[in-house]
Amino acid sequence: MTTAYFDTSAIVPLIVEEAGSNKAKCLWRDAERVTSARVVYAEGHAALAAAARLGRLPADRLCAAIGELVDRYEELHLVEISDRLVRRAGALAEQHTLRGYDSIHLAAAELSRGDDAFVFVAGDRDLCAAAERIGLEVVRTG
């Protein structure tokens, strides 16, 4: 089974057309299982609202975009935020100079990786580099 872990930077291009959208859509479609940390909803909602404020998403399309986020969110196999996960995220943030939510996604991916084929999907360059350093197979969408 192929599992794809989607960071928020890879989920937003599923909804807002940008450079990595086609790659993200193909990876989502082809994966047998798609996972992410539960925080992806709050982070994704905030990213969509920011895209509308910045004109990357027409303001009149924001409600529909959030609806698409809800649909994607409901398809995900979610990784819960546990004490073990946040402690690992803290260590990863320090070791790889990551932002908080990025370190949570990296820890969630690392802890949820099983024996099956696994790929970490993200658009953030620094996060992708950190994922490679801890031994994850990475596909960059950006």
* Domains parsed from the chain with CATH numbers: 2-135 (3.40.50.1010)
Cα gap 93→110, rounded to integer Å: 13
Token pair of 6 as six digits: 């989607």
Count Cβ atoms within 10 A of the Cβ of residue 65 and give its class: 0-12 exposed, 13-18 middle, 19 or more buried: buried
122: β partners: 140
Mean pLDDT of 14-41: 96
Phi, psi of 58 (to 5 degrees): -55, 135
pLDDT of residue 61: 97
pLDDT of residue 65: 98
**92 pLDDT above the threshold of 90:** yes
**135 pLDDT above the threshold of 70:** yes
Mean pLDDT of 96-118: 94
